[in-house]
Structure formats: C-alpha cells, structure tokens
Structure 1
Amino acid sequence: MHIQVSQDFREKAKAAVSSIVVFIFVYLLIFLFTIVLALACIAAGIWLIAAKPMFVTLMLGAGLAATGLFVFYFIIKFLFKKHINDRSYLTEIKRSDEPELFKMIDEIVQEAETNFPKKVYLSNDVNASVFYDSSFWSMFFPIQKNLTIGAGLINTTTKQELKAILSHEFGHFSQRSMKVGSYVYNVNQIIFNLVNDDASYRNSLEKFASFSSYFTLFASLAIFITSKIQWILAKMYSYVNIRHMALSREMEFHADEVAANIAGSVSLEESLLRLELANNSYNNVLNFYEARISKNQSSKNIYKEQFFVMNFLADQSELETKYDLPYVKLAESGLFNKSKLNIENQWASHPSTEDRVAKLKQLNIVKDRDDQPAKNLFKDFEKTEEKLTAKLFANVQYDRGRTDLEFEIFKAEFENQYQKDSFDKIFNNYYDNKNPDSEVQENILSDSINFDLLFDNEKVELVYTLIALENDKKTIEAIANKEFVLKTFDYDGRKYKSTEAKNLIPEIDQSMTEIKDQIKKNDSNIYNYFLKISENQGRKSNFINIYQSFCDYDKQYEEKYKLYTDLVNGTTFISERTPFEQIKNHFVKLKSLEENLKQEIRFHLQNPLLISELNEKDVKDLNDYIEKEHIYFRNEEYFDFNLQLLIKAINTLPYFLHRKYFLIKKEVLTLMKDLEDHHRVEKVS
C-alpha cells in the first residue's frame, strides 16, 4: 500500500529535517570543541606533572586531564544510553493463546506492508500503542516493534473499530515517508538525554570530587562547562521539538489514512468519538475503587464495570446506541469545547479529534464491516479481564485482606454515588461548571420566560463559551509575556504573530463582557422565574432562605479557603532545611492559624453529610487533633506523629469546604427542580 503524502506533510517534514541538519551542525561544533578541550587539558596536565613532579602537581594534573575527559564524555554519553520500556504492567499474549486476534493482526500488517510485531501485550487502559526499546543506534538499524492493546479499548469497540485503531498504529511504520518522524524523534531523545538526563553523569563527578579536595575544583569546572553546553542544547531542543510536534500532527493524519484504507473511514471515526467516553468510564471506575481502599474493597472485573458505566453515562447524556455501544456524534463530543484558539498543536503531538474526523469524512473510504464486539476475538475475554483486574489490584496496599465487590452491588453504589455527586439533568449541564448568581435581585419577569428557554442549549453554550474565552485569554497572555515560545497561532480562524498576542486581549475582554452580561441577565431571569412559581406554590420564603444560605456561603468561601493557603504557606518550612531557632518561631506564628483550623474542623465534623465519605481512622485522627494540644518540635527534633495529624487536618479542610459548597449548591438546585416539577403538574391539571 502506498499513500501519497499531503503538501502539509512535505512542508513539515522539510522543516523537521532542516532542524536535524541545524542540530547536527551545532553538535559537531560542540563535539570538536570538547575534543580540543580534552586534548588541551590532558596535555596541560602532563606538562604540569612533568615540569615539577610532586604530589600537588600530580593531583592538579590528573584533575585537569579528568576535567577535559568528563566534558568530552558528557557530549557522547547518549551513544551508550538505551531506553528500556517498563513492561511490568503488561501481560504478554501469544498466537496460541488468541489465534483470532493474531489473525486480525496478520491481515493488518499484510495490508499495511509492514512487519509483524515482535511481541503483543495486553494493558489495562483504554488505548493501543506500538513501542520499542530505543537507542542512538536504532536510527541506523531496524528494530522490531511491540504492540500493546488496552483491555479497556477492546471492551468498548467493535471488531472493525479495533482493526481500524490497530491499523493506525502500524500505519506509523508502514510508509517510507513516515521514517522521517522516527529520525526526528530519536534526535529529540538525544537532545533530551543531554539536557535533562544527567543524574548518573553528576554522580560520577561527585565520586570523582570525593577522592580528594584537589578534585573538587575540577569537578565544579566540568559542571560549569557542561551547564553552558546544556544551555545551547536546550535552545536546540526547543527548536527541534516544535518542528517534531508539527510533523507528528501530520503523521497522525497520515496514519489515519492508512487505517481508513484498511478498515474504512467510519469505523475509525466512530471509535475516536467514543474513545473519550470509554476512557472517562474507566477512570470513573478507578476513582470509585480508590475511594474504597480504606474499606478494603476491590473489583473482580473492572472492565465489566467500565462497560456498565459507559452505557450509564451515555444514557444520562441521552446518546443513541449502535452495535450495543454508545454512538457519539461529533456535535456531542465537542459540546463543551468552545475555544477559538489553535496553536497548531505545538505542545501536543496529536491533532484534535474534530480535525481527525473531518479528514476521515473527506476520505470517505468504505470497507466491509464486522461489527461484532471486539471481545469476541478472544477465546474467553471475561477470564482475561479478571486476570488483568487481579494484576491491577495486586499493586494496591490494603490494611486487611481485600473483598471483591459483587457486580450488582457496584451498580447500585455507583448509581447512588453519581446521583449524590451530580446535578439533575433537567438543568442541561448549565450548572455543572458555574454557580447560581449570588448577586441577583428581585425584579419583574417577562411572561414569555419559561423553564425550557432558561436552560436551552443556547444558554448552556454561553457558559462554556465564557469558560473557553477565559482559558484562551490566559494562554494568549502567556504568549504575550513570552512564557510560551512560538512564532504564530490561530485565533477564530485568523493567523496571528506572537507579537500580536497582546492586541487580542482587549477583543477577548470585550467578548467576555458581552457574554457575562447575557449570562447575568439569564441568571436574573432564572431567580425571578423561581421566585414567581415558588410564590404561586406558597413556598417563596423557603426558596429565598435556601438561596440566601448559598449566597452567604459563596461570599464566605474565599476567606475560608484563604485559611488553607495560609496554612500551606506557613508550614513549608517543615519540608525545608531550617535553623532550629527559626523552626520554633514558625510554630509560634502558626498558633493563631491553627486555632482557626481547629475551629473549622470541629464545625465540619458535626455535619454527618460531610464525614460520611471519610473512613473511621480519618475521623478519629481529626477528633484527636482538635481535642488535644500537640507539640510538634522540641529539643531540636520533630514529633512526626503529631505533624502527620496537623498535615492531615490541613489537607482535609479544602475537602470540607468544597463538599459543603457542593451540598449547599445542590440543595438550591434540588429545590428548584422540585418547584419546576410541581409547576408542570399544576399546568397539566
């Protein structure tokens, strides 16, 4: 299979190759410099020893010669560096284990005209990847790649979709033109190794310096010289890396085209659009069990639970179903991403899903499809899932023996937890990332205002557009302040130079002001709408009181959270080297803050809803902390147990503050939903 590369690919490849040429030129200059330096140091060392043979000159001569050799070794150490991928979390499978899966891989490598992977592994996550152990020499000698397939991916795709995703991975190695990316990647790794991965080099210098006080000066000199070389190489890393990322973006499109030619455009498109939901579902299950480590609960089959959660979340979002899997449309996947900023992925190697789907739609390659579940490729996928789950939980430390949660119990507890931690979907996600307005006032409401109008998609989009504008502004301010180094970026379909970034900020501010005004007007209408229907139901005072409670806490929240930040800043000395006298003074200053902390913890511990998520030990430790006076430092020694109680109390405070805010907000929204439900019943009757 030969696929013609695009003009963009050619241009990005040329830019990437030119950056390699520039790097090689700069590296050769540094290499020659280090050779000359090493020879000069060795010659000077020999001359010094020969001129006046004695112990001092011997040490100085040896130190001088070693300095030159250390600097030279620094510039060539990447030749001996080999990157070995961690395989401890992977489970190897062989052809005899899963012949149907290997048959699919055979078909892919044959059509892609590439080599069969050296080994095939299963991982826990929702992804597929190809990896290999690389070194400098892998640029010149062919290396067999290994294939990793995530069980969380197999669990949430059809056979055709899995084939498309695996074809994409092999697409990276099937085209001669793609090898440019491999060279750029390896050069990037070399520079990274020289700039950042120098721990063993510095350890060698420290050992050298420890032999004699004479060598300390020369070790410092070697570090000084190599630090200047690192500064030059760091600039080269930035130069090469930006071009590498731009090329990587085109390589993704190219690999997508390979996959579309093998498995069809639609299969890859649909799997890409579902991927985020599948991944979020997997992470939801992980988070569920992370909160239950203290209860010694684990899962027998985390993938069965992932599948349930994926469909549960899809149902909550009212997504369609196709092939017994959620069918995510492009409009639904990007509903909450309203950013107008495009920096051409200079900080990420993958283009957006939206861009990839658009390219796939243009290709529109149709292939025969097998839309059975991908898990049917395995002899007994449920058994495989259980083995991988057991391996995953084997790494978790439990106080006592763990107990696997029954699937039906998981379903009930997850649904219950979801309802506790989310707002009713009647509000159409309007309040998921914003709060009710705490500054609204009572005024006359237009008769044309109704609930559906207040929470329609247009109003929800206003909220997420404002969030996107706020994030865009922060990024553009960073570009204007040169915190991000780049030449150009796109905003709202127009290309800008980095020097023009500051001119965009007033425009964004103007857009933000306009949208804030629209949201504020809608929030006022919401408040007055519920005032009106609560008055009709004889519940106006109840609504006002509950809404006012939220507003009061909203105004107190920043001040209460400031206590947490002050405590964090006030205890940083504990993790730093601090003179004993200063430690005592710090704890004296901390006393008033600690009294406020105890008062807050004591108050929140009285709320059953807040402590319901904490385990018994945490509650006991917090009670011990607030009931006693603790000594943290005496006789030039820290009391670690008491310090742990203090740190636990400090870290629990933001949880209490966040959780209480959520519960008060939910109380307001629950009342609003109840008012609306009664209002609809009244209208019908």
Structure 2
Amino acid sequence: MLIQASNDFRKKGQAAIFSIILFIIVYILLFISAIALTVACVTGGIMMIAAKPMFFTLMIGLGLASFGLLIFYFLIKFLFKKHINDRSFLTEITQRDEPELFAMISEIVKETGTDFPKKVYLSYDVNASVFYDSTFWSMFLPIKKNLTIGIGLVNACTKQELKAIIAHEFGHFSQRSMKVGSYVYNVNQIIFNLVNDDESYRNTIQNWANASGYFAIFAELALKFTQGIQWVLAKMYSFVNIRHMALSREMEFHADEVAANIAGSLALEESLLRMDLADNSYNNVINFYESKIKDSKASKNIYKEQAFVMGFLAKESELEMKHDLPVVKLEEAGIFNKSKLNIENQWASHPSTEDRVARLRRLNIQKESDNRTARSLFKNFEQTEEKLTQKLFSNVQYESERSNLEFDHFKEEFETTYNKDTFDKIFNNYYDNKSPDRFDLETSIPSDENLSFDELFGKDKVEIAYNLIALENDKNTIESISKKELKIKTFDYDGTKYKASEAKNLIPKLENEIRSLKEEVTANDINIYHYFLRKAKEQNREYEFRTYYSDFVNYEASYEEQFKLYLELNDAYAFVSVTTPFEQIKKNFRKHIPLESKLKDELKNILTNPLLESDITEEACKDLQYYVDNQLIYFNNNEYFNDDLQHLFFAINSYQYYTARNYFLLKKRLLDQMSILEKNV
C-alpha cells in the first residue's frame, strides 16, 4: 500500500529536517570546541606536571585534564543512553494463546507492509500503542516494534474498529516517508537527554569531586560550563521540538489514512468518538475501587463493570446504541465547547478528534465491516479480563484480607453514588457548568411570567449559558496572550486571524459580548427563580424553596473568600517542603498562628454541618476533631514533628475538599428541590 504524503506533511517534514540540520551544525560546533578544549586541558595538564613534577602540580594537572574530559563526556553520553520501556504492567500473549487475534494482526501487517511485531502485550487501559526500546543507533539499525492492546479498548469496540485502531498504529511505520518522523523523534530525545537527563552525569562529577579537594574546583567549573552548553541546547530543543510536534500531528493524519484504507473511514471515526466515553467509564470504575481500598474491597472483573458503566452513562446521555455499543456523534462530543478561539497548539503531538474525523469524512473510504464485538477475537475473553483484573489489584496494598465486590452490589453502589453526585437531567445540562445566578431575591422582577419549563431550559437558553462560559474562557486566554504569559505569534478568533500584539484590542469587544450575554443569562435565571417560586407557593413549599435558594447564593458569595484562605494556608506552610534556617522555621510557625486559628474555626463549622455528615468518614472526623481540639507542636529542638505536620496538612486539604463539597451539596439540594416542584404536577 502506497499513500501519497500530503503537502502539509511534506512542508512539516522539510521544516523538521531543517531543524535537525541546524541542530547538527550547532552540535558539531560544540563538539569541535569540546575536543579542542579537552586537548588543550589534557596537554596543559601534562605540560604542567612535566614542567615541575610534584604533588601539587600532579593534582592540578589531573584536575585540568579531567575538566576537559568531563565536558567531552557530557556531549557524547547520549550515545550510550538506552531507553527501556517499563513492561511490568503488561501481559505478553502469543499466537498459541490467541490465534484469531494474531491472524487479524497478520492481515494488518501484510496490508500495511510492515514487520510483524516482535511481541504482543495486553495492558489494562483503553489504548493501543506500538513501542520499542531505543538508543541513538535506532536511527540507523532496523528495530522490531512491540504491540500493546488495552483490554479496556477491546471491551469498547467492534472487530472492525479494533482493526482500524491497530492499523493506525502500524500506519506510523508503513510508509517510507514516515521514516523522517523516527529521525526527528530520536534527535528530539537526544537533545532532551542532553538538556534534562543529567543525573548520572552529575553523580559522575560528584564522585570525582569527592576524590580530592583539588578535583572539586575543576568539577564545579565543568558543571558550570555544561550548564552553559545546556542553555544553548535548550534553545535548540525548543526549536526542534515545535517542528517535531507539528510533524507528529501530520503523521497522525497519515496513519489515519492508512487505517481508513484497511478498515474503512467509519470504523475509525466511530471508535475515535467513543474512546472518551470508554476511557471515562474505565476511570470511573478505577476511582470507585480507590474509594474501597479502606474496606479491602476489589473487583473480580473490572472490565465487566466498565461495560456496565459505559452503557449506564450512554443511557443517561440518551445515546443511541449500535452493535451493542454506544454511538457518540461529533456534535454530541463537542456540544458544550462553544469557544471561538483557535490556537494551533504547537506542543500537542496529536490533532483534535474533530480534525481527525473531518479528514476521515473527506476520505470517505468504504469497507466491508465485521461488526461483531472485538471480544470475540479472544478464546475466552472473560477469563482474560479476570486475569488482568487480578494482576491490576495485586499491586494495591490492603490493610486486611482482600475480598471481591459482587457485580450486582457494584451496580447498585455505582448508581447510588452517581445519582448522589449528579444533577437531574430534566435541566438539560443547564446547571452542569454554571450555578443559579445571584440577584436580589426580594426585588427581582421576571421579564416574562408566562415562560414554560421547556422554554426556560430549552436548547437556546443552554447555548447562551455555554457561550458565556466559552467567552469568559476565551477572554482569559487572550488576556494571557496580551500579557505575553502565553507565547504565540498568531491566533484565530471567530474565523479572523490576529497577531499576538493585537490581542489587547480584542478584549473590549469580548467584554461587551460577555456583558450582553450575562444580562441574558441573569434575566433567564430570574425567570427561573420566579417560575419555581410560583410552583413552591402552589405546593405549600415556599419557605423551603426560598431557604434553599438563599442558602446556596449566600454560600456562593463567600466561597471565593474560603478558597482564598486555602491558598493562603498553602503558601504560608510551603516553607516546610524546602530547606529553611531553624530560626526562620520557628518565626514562620509563630507568624501563622492567627491563620491556623481561622482554619480551626472553619473546620468546626464543617464538623457540625448536617449537610456534610454523611460525607465525613468516622476516621476523618476523628482526625479533624483531634486537630481542632489540640495545640500541636510542629517544630522543636531543631527538628520537625512529622505526625503533627501530617495532621496540619490533612486539615488544610480537608478544608478545601469539604468547602467545595458543601458548595456542590447546597447546589444539588436546591436543584433537587426544583426538580421535585416540577415533577409534582
């Protein structure tokens, strides 16, 4: 299969090659300079020893020679660096284990014109990848790749979709034109290692310095000198890396085209759009069991639970099903992203899903599909799922003997937790990323008393709310550009290209749009309030509704100050994690006594808050109460008291968590009340 490289790919490839050539020129100049310096230092050292042989000149001569050699070694150490991928989380499988899966891989390999993978592994997550252990010599010597297939991925796609995904991975290595990507990647790694990965080099210098006080002077000089070289290389890394990332995005499009030619455009498109849901479902299950570690509860089959969560979330979002899998449409995937700002992310190695789908649709390659579940490629997929689940949980440390949670219990607990932590769907996601607006509840007047529930929470009102959120985010980003906090040359806003220097001129326009949209959103929120107030009066629940609404808006008004206290506490005690003189440590703790008193007062309110009662575990309550009731000593006799410090930082983090949790629960209580009022017709 031969696929012509696009013009963009060729341009990005040429830019990447130019950056490599420039790096090579800079590196050669540094290398020649290092050789000259090394020869000069070694010659100078020998001449010094020969001129006046004595212990002092011997040590100085050796030190001078070592200075040159250490600089030279710094510039060639990458030749011996080998990148070894961690395989501890992987499970190797063979053709004997899974003949049908290997048959599909063979078919893909044949069609893409690549070599069969050296090894095939199963991983835990929702992903597929090709990897290899690399060295500098990988650019010149043929090297076999390994294939990794995530069980969480297999669980979330059809056979045709899995074929498309694996074909995409091998597509990166199938075309002659793609080899430039490998060269750019390796050069990028070399510069990165030279700039950042210098721990072993520093250890070498330190060991040499420890040998003698004479050598320590030259070792320090070598370190300072190499820091200067690193500064030059860091600039080169930035230059090469930007072009590497730009090329990587084009390589993704190229690999997508390979996959589309093998498995069809639709298979790759539908799998791409479902991946976020599949990954989110997997992570939901992982997070669920993280909360069960204290109860020594694990899962027998985490992937069966992933499939349940994926179906549950799809049903909640009213997604259609196809081949027993949710279908996520492109417009649904980006329904809440109303941003008009487009900044080409020079540091992203992958294009957006939207861009990839758009290209796949333009290709529109049709292929006969096998839409049976990808699970059917395995001899006994459930047994494989259970085996990897057991391996995953074997890495977790439990205080008592571990037991598995029954699947029916998982479903029940997950649904209960989900419903507890989400808002009723009748609001059409209106409140998912915004809260009821604050306004004077007594003097506010509705602009239209005849609006129905469906009109108040209709698609147009939801869009206005999300347009406002997007505008505020865009304005913040553009302000960062104008202040040069975000260093870019150009950006697109609402289809118009701007220079970075023009960003400040755009801000007043955005502020006017934000002001106008805020008025619309607030007007709608006032109408909503009066709509439910009428409902509450009709159902004799006026006092309850007013109380819940005012409790929330009052808490929201103070929430920013509460979060500010959390930030102050973090800043105040940051000195604990850095080297600080003893006297300064004592002064710091004395200085922050009033701030700690504020924290204790806030925690007292949290511990007596009935809304948080079910959220604060017995153990957390006990620890927080101990902290509130006692004057802890954090530092004495020139040493920290770690147990008391742990209580302090647990209290600070708990304060932040429970203030945010209280905010959510007050909002949910209000929205649940509104939901009840609407449903009690």
TM-score where L is the length of structure 2: 0.97
Q: Secondary structure at the match of 2:326?
A: strand
1:445 touches 1:528 (CA, 8 Å); kept in 2? no
Establish whether residue 529 from structure 1 lines up as the match of residue 535 from structure 2: no
Query: Deviation of residue 614 (structure 1)?
Result: 4.2
Contact 1:294–1:615 (8 Å) recurs in 2? no
Q: Displacement of 1:2 after TM fit?
A: 0.5
Aligned to 2:280: 280
- Tell me which of 599, 602, 610 is aligned to 1:600: 602
Q: Structure 1: how far apart are the matches of 2:108 and 2:125?
A: 22
Classify 1:611/1:84 alpha carbon distance in 2 versus 1 (closer, same or farther; 3 Å). farther
Alignment-mate amino acid for residue 114 of structure 1:
T
AA aligned to 1:524 is I
Does the 8 Å contact 1:550/1:664 carry over to 2? Answer: yes
Structure 2 equivalent of residue 458 of structure 1: 460
Q: CA deviation at 1:339?
A: 2.1
Who is 1:434 aligned against?
434
Give the superposition deviation at 1:450. 1.6
Deviations 1:656-681 (CA, angstroms, capped at 9, x unpaired): 10111111111111111112122xx2
Residue segments in structure 1 that go unaligned for 5+ positions in a row: none
Answering whether residue 491 of structure 2 is matched by residue 489 of structure 1, we say yes
Distance 1:384 1:3 in 2: 37
Distance 2:485 2:59 in 1: 46
> 1:294 is paired with a residue of what secondary structure?
helix
- Tell me what 2:41 maps to: 41
Task: Write the letter of the residue equivalent to 1:453.
Answer: E
From 471, 474, 481, the equivalent of 2:473 is 471
User: 1:132 and 2:132 equivalent?
Assistant: yes
| Partners of 1:408 and 1:599 in 2: CA distance | 43
Q: CA deviation at 1:532?
A: 2.7
Change (3 A) 1:183 1:502: farther
Matches of residues 238-257 of structure 1 in structure 2 within 5 Å? 238-257=238-257
Indicate the SS of the match to 1:437. Answer: coil
* Number of the residue aligned with 2:518: 516
Q: Does the residue aligned with 1:173 lie in a helix, a strand or coil?
A: coil
Letter in 1 for 2:249: R
Take 1:506 and 1:17, find their aligned partners in 2: how far apart are those partners? 42
Residue 340 (structure 1) shift: 2.2
2:91–2:121 CA contact under 8 A, matched in 1: yes
Cα distance in structure 1, aligned partners of 2:563 and 2:465: 25
User: Aligned residue for 1:334?
Assistant: 334
Q: Which residue identity is paired with 1:578? A: T
Aligned to 1:99: 99
Q: Take 2:334 and 2:207, find their aligned partners in 1: how far apart are those partners?
A: 55
Which letter does structure 2 place at the counterpart of 1:405?
L
Q: Does the C-alpha gap of structure 1 residues 554 and 360 become closer, same or farther in structure 2, counting only changes over 3 Å?
A: same
CA distance in 1, matches of 2:481, 2:50: 58
Shift of 1:611: 4.4
Matches of 1:103 and 1:614 in 2, distance apart?
Answer: 53
Q: In structure 1, how many angstroms separate the alpha carbons of the residues matched to 2:100 and 2:423?
A: 44
CA distance in 2, matches of 1:625, 1:494: 56
Q: Deviations over 1:341-391 (max 9, x none)?
A: 333231211111111111111111111111111011001111111111111
Q: State the distance in 2 between where 1:424 and 1:246 align.
A: 42
Q: Structure 1 pair 506/2, CA: closer, same or farther in 2 (3 Å)?
A: same
Q: Tell me which residue corresponds to 2:585.
A: 583
Aligned residue runs from structure 1 range 190-201, under 5 A: 190-201=190-201
> For the structure 1 residues 189 and 474, does the alpha-carbon distance in structure 2 shift closer, same or farther, using more than 3 Å as the test?
farther
Alignment partner of 2:575 out of 554, 573, 576: 573
3-state DSSP class of the match of 1:623?
Answer: helix
Match of residue 157 from structure 2: 157
> 2-side partners of 1:481 and 1:62: how far apart?
51
Amino acid at match of 1:656: Y
2:501 corresponding residue in structure 1: 499
Alignment deviations for residues 520-544 of structure 1 (CA, whole Å, 9 cap, x no partner): 2222221222223323333333322
Deviation readout 1:26-64 (Å, 9 max, x if unpaired): 111111111111111111112222222222221111111
Structure 2 CA distance for aligned equivalents of residues 471 and 135 of structure 1: 42
Task: For residue 323 of structure 1, report the CA deviation from its aligned partner.
Answer: 0.4
Partners of 2:449 and 2:531 within 8 A in 1: no
Q: Secondary structure at the match of 1:496?
A: strand
Cα-to-partner distance string for 1:266-301 (whole Å, 9 max, x where unaligned): 111100110100011011111111111111111111
Deviation for aligned residue 1:609: 4.6
The question of whether the paired residues in 2 share the 8 Å contact of 1:45 and 1:62 is answered with yes
1:291 corresponds in structure 2 to 291
Shift of 1:447: 3.9
The structural deviation recorded for 1:557 is 1.7
- Deviation string for 1:549-590 (max 9, x for gaps)? 112111222222233222222222222222222222222222
- Candidates 656, 662, 665, aligned match of 1:663: 665
Contact (CA 8 Å) 1:440, 1:527: kept in 2 or not?
Answer: no
Report the AA paired with residue 125 of structure 2: D
Q: How far apart are residue 608 of structure 1 and its match? A: 5.2
CA contact (8 A) 2:449 2:527 kept: no
Query: 2:288, 2:635 → 1: CA distance?
Result: 38
Deviations, residues 577-635 of structure 1 (Å, cap 9, x unaligned): 22222222222222222222222222222345524344433222222222223222222
Q: Is the aligned partner of 1:675 residue 2:681?
A: no
Q: Is the 8 A contact 2:446 2:526 kept in 1?
A: no
* TM superposition shift of 1:440: 4.6
2:311 aligned partner: 311
User: Are the equivalent residues in 1 in contact too, given 2:298–2:405 (CA < 8 A)?
Assistant: yes
Displacement after TM superposition at 1:516 (Å): 2.1
In 2, Cα distance between equivalents of 1:293 and 1:648: 18
Instruction: Using the TM superposition, give the Cα deviation of residue 489 of structure 1 relative to its aligned residue in structure 2, in angstroms.
Output: 3.0
Is 2:562 the counterpart of 1:550?
no
Query: Residue in 1 aligned with 2:482?
Result: 480
Offset, 1:65: 0.9
Encode CA deviations 1:190-237: one digit per residue, 9 max, x unaligned.
110111111110111111111111122211211111111111111111
Residue in 1 that maps onto 2:19: 19
Change (3 A) 1:513 1:674: same
Note if contact 2:447-2:523 (Cα within 8 Å) is conserved in structure 1.
no
Q: How many angstroms apart in 2 are the aligned matches of 1:437 and 1:484?
A: 31
- 1:630-658 deviations in whole A, cap 9, x for unaligned? 22222223222222112211111111101
Q: For the residues of structure 2 that align with 1:216 and 1:473, how far apart are their CA atoms?
A: 53
Q: Which runs of 5+ in 2 are unaligned?
A: none
Q: 1:361 to 1:539 in 2, by over 3 A?
A: same
Q: Equivalents in 2 of 1:476, 1:562: separation in Å?
A: 25
Distance 1:336 1:599 in 2: 39
